[in-house]
Each structure stands twice: as C-alpha cells, then as structure tokens.
Amino acid sequence: MAIYNIVKKEETVLREKSKYVKNITKNVEKLLDNMAETMYESKGVGLAAPQVGVLKRVVVIDVGEGLIELINPEIIDSKGSETDYEGCLSCPGIVGEVTRAKEVKVKGLDRKGNEVIIEGDELLARCLQHEIDHLEGILFIDKAQKIQTTP
C-alpha cells in the first residue's frame, strides 16, 4: 500500500466533477486501500478520490465506527439540519461553520460491486455529505458561513 499526497485547495482537480466508476478493477481496489491508508496516516475521518488527484467517484470514511468504502455514492434521503464546524485535509489550518442535513441515507457500491445503503446521523452524516461534495467539485469552504484559521 502507499500513502498519497493530498491535493490542496488551490489545485483545479478539486473543482472538477468526478466520473462514475463503471467497473471495479484491481486498480479501484488499490485506490480504496491507499486512500484508507492515507486518511489514517493524515488523521482524517474521510477522504475522497479527488483529494488524491483521482477524478473517480470513490470515498473512504471512518468516524470511529470502522472503515466505510463507497463507490459512486449518492444521497437518496436527508432529514433535519445542523450547523457545526468542519475542516478538510485539502484545506489545512482552516475550519468553518457549515449547515448540513442532520441525517442522511446514502446509496453506493462496496468494493465487490454490491449495492450498500449507509444511514448516518451527526458526524457520519456530515462526513458523508462533505466527501460526496468533493465528488462534485465542492469544498466545505464554499458552504461555510464563518471561516477561521487554526494554529
């Protein structure tokens, strides 16, 4: 496995829309493995493929409940609203208040190509929305009401 360099907010790849994964190949599986390793090494709770320079609809998430790998994720339902602080591995030293759905239901594929449904609330819901935004070329700083730098 390998640790990827994380693309920073200035890079144009973060503003492009990611492409759907048509076939889950060994390269996609390797991408999932390396993204997870990169996320853990960077002390993040989520990572989307564009953050490592790959325009594929692939995300990995772990908010402390175990690794979630999603290919072609899409939000199919959401409820409520909650504003909280977010940060991003592609925007080091920046946090901002972002309003997002409090609960979401996301459909995607696992690494075997099986359809999975993930239901999340609070931090997991926020992370799912944040990472799926990356696949659309959207950064949290685009949605933040208040932005501040951290030491």
Active site members: 131
130 labelled binding-site residue: yes
88 labelled binding-site residue: yes
127 labelled binding-site residue: no
Q: Is 23 helix (H, G, I), strand (E, B) or coil?
A: coil
Cα–Cα dist 73/29, whole Å: 16
Query: Comparing C-alpha atoms, which of 61, 65, 103, 64 is closest to residue 82?
Result: 103
Token match 């409090």: residue? 102
The CB-based long-range contact list for 112-115 (8 Å cut-off, 24+ gap) reads: 112/24, 113/24
Question: Residue positions in the annotated binding site for Fe cation?
Answer: 88, 130, 134
Question: Residue positions in the annotated binding site?
Answer: 88, 130, 134
